[in-house]
Structure 1
Amino acid sequence: MTTTPTTVTTRTVEYPADGLTMVGHLALPAGSGRCPGVLIGPEGPGLNDFQRRRADALAELGYAALAFDINGGRWFTDPQEMLAYVNPLLASPDRMRDIGHAALDVLRAEPRTDPDRIAGIGYGTGGAILLELGRDGVDLRAIGTVNALTTGRPGEAAHIRCPVWAGVGSEDPIMPAAQRDAFTAEMQSAGVDWRLTVYGGAQHAFHHPTVAQTLLPGVGHHPQHAERAWRDVVDLLSECVPVAE
């Protein structure tokens, strides 16, 4: 366990999911009382220090934050190897739900977490996993995603019980306009309280400088929009699961 100068405490947590030993990063705020929780889902390459720092930043704001793992502690540096792992996962809602439920169980079991006040934010594959938790009827306070406009099995979006915010780059070829339309149509027809923010000129993974260094086409970092997307995520949490309630 480590302690930051702002008294945020962090620790690595290992837990089973999808036939793997997942290696997550838990960050807790100062104090001893219960606080709202946030699940943070990483991109397809895996969990790295970028998302761990996001968990730490949310803990500084007063949240118990778990940056969860999706691939057994690995960080894929080869884009084709990453796609060979991620694409089958994205094609299996049940596998995604299993990974999400396992992480949720870890966060709920943390004594500092208020189990009735948990939200989820996710990026790419991690966002798709959180959307599947929503479609599975999990009682989350909010779901926020960046670069994850995935649609689910017919009719299951009606099980989503919380507001959904999604952010995407206008020049993202992986989440093009047709995918945006399909996602918003699904949310609207299901009666979900949804919002979509399109960041002009941004490509896929615009928020993440490390992922943006991959050789995949249509991937690129956009520092200004990255900061805006983070503020949008924090605003969503402040609205739907405030620290002081």
Structure 2
Amino acid sequence: MTTITTRTVEYAADGLTMIGHLALPPGADRRPAVLLGPEGMGLSDVERGRADALAELGYAALAFDLHGGRYLGDPEEMLARCLPLLADPDRMRGIGHAALDVLRTQPRTDPGRIAAVGYGTGGAVGLELGRDGVDLRAIGTVNALTTGRPGEAERIRCPVWAGVGSQDPIMPPEQRNAFTAEMQAAGVDWRLTVYGGALHAFHHPPVDHPTVPGVGYHPRHAQRAWRDVVDLLAECLPLAEDRGTS
């Protein structure tokens, strides 16, 4: 039985040497690809595992780095880096473009068929790529209902799906409303899924370090959110195109 292949990739972004995780399906043909962004703590085995799962489905996947190979388990350190980053669309775009360039130039990637999926800060990066007019087939985010600079959402050229917990104090109803108003005004093909009773980062298995208040794992909704991501990709980045012509 053939298996996926994985490797680390180093690249420069945000003044740092980033260390991403590339996962590739079996074979040698070009594949639709997914750029996968992590929560604010940074790239962990959770996102690496999701990239591997996408490769098992048939996608080329790059889980990108936010912090130069570091995982910021200290909430204060994480917030000290992520809050300024989230307030600076150009920095987020720089991080996203650098990772996207790595993924696009992989021999297994079909550069015309790429989606961005992200969680928390990584999802905000994906949204900023869309607002920058990048040619993506889909953008999917969990816990990342961030709004952009006025008018720039009109550059988003693909469907956007967003998921959020109903009890997420970091992405409260006011933020949901601002995000959906921005998407609607820009004419984006958007969807929002609210997972009842879930907190922030409900998709992320428990961690062995302190977290900020309002964060909690919800196993059932975590599974549902992953299925929603896979369904988004199946709709907007179908693998059947490849299988039908191979």
**TM-score under structure 1 length normalisation:** 0.97
1:155-174 residue pairs with structure 2 within 5 A?
155-174=151-170
1-structure distance, mates of 2:69, 2:97: 17
Matched, 1:20 2:16: yes
Preserved contact between residue 212 and residue 221 of structure 1 (Cα < 8 Å) = no
Matched, 1:138 2:134: yes
1-structure distance, mates of 2:44, 2:25: 20
Displacement of 1:108? 0.4
User: Which one of the candidate residues 194, 203, 214 is aligned to 1:198?
Assistant: 194
Preserved contact between residue 47 and residue 70 of structure 1 (Cα < 8 Å) = yes
Preserved contact between residue 89 and residue 148 of structure 2 (Cα < 8 Å) = yes
1-structure distance, mates of 2:105, 2:238: 20
Preserved contact between residue 135 and residue 157 of structure 1 (Cα < 8 Å) = yes
Q: Which residue of 1 aligns with 2:75?
A: 79
CA distances 1:36-65 after superposition (whole Å, capped 9, x unpaired): 000000000000000000000000000000
Displacement of 1:110? 0.2
What's the secondary structure of 1:82's corresponding residue?
A: helix
1-structure distance, mates of 2:209, 2:151: 37
2-structure distance, mates of 1:243, 1:78: 39
RMSD over aligned CA atoms reads: 1.1
The one-letter amino acid paired with 2:140 is G
Preserved contact between residue 138 and residue 159 of structure 2 (Cα < 8 Å) = yes
2-structure distance, mates of 1:72, 1:123: 18
Matched, 1:222 2:210: no
1-structure distance, mates of 2:212, 2:123: 19
Displacement of 1:181? 0.1
Displacement of 1:213? 5.7
Q: Which residue of 1 aligns with 2:244?
A: none
Displacement of 1:243? 1.3
User: Which one of the candidate residues 68, 81, 84 is aligned to 2:64?
Assistant: 68
Q: Which residue of 2 aligns with 1:54?
A: 50
What's the secondary structure of 1:65's corresponding residue?
A: strand
Preserved contact between residue 73 and residue 209 of structure 2 (Cα < 8 Å) = no
Q: Which residue of 2 aligns with 1:152?
A: 148
1-structure distance, mates of 2:128, 2:206: 26
Percentage of identical aligned residues: 78
The one-letter amino acid paired with 1:54 is R
2-structure distance, mates of 1:169, 1:214: 20
**TM-score under structure 2 length normalisation:** 0.96
Q: Which residue of 2 aligns with 1:244?
A: 240
The one-letter amino acid paired with 1:120 is A
2-structure distance, mates of 1:92, 1:210: 29
Q: Which residue of 2 aligns with 1:88?
A: 84
The one-letter amino acid paired with 2:151 is G
What's the secondary structure of 1:230's corresponding residue?
A: helix
Preserved contact between residue 42 and residue 71 of structure 2 (Cα < 8 Å) = yes
1-structure distance, mates of 2:62, 2:206: 20
2-structure distance, mates of 1:36, 1:212: 35
Q: Which residue of 2 aligns with 1:187?
A: 183
Preserved contact between residue 96 and residue 125 of structure 2 (Cα < 8 Å) = yes
Corresponding pairs, count:
241
2-structure distance, mates of 1:156, 1:32: 37
User: Which one of the candidate residues 208, 227, 233 is aligned to 2:229?
Assistant: 233
1-structure distance, mates of 2:147, 2:194: 17
Higher mean displacement: 209-218 or 5-14: 209-218
2-structure distance, mates of 1:11, 1:121: 20
Moved over 4 A (4+): none
Unmatched segments (≥5 aa) in structure 2: 242-246
What's the secondary structure of 2:240's corresponding residue?
A: coil
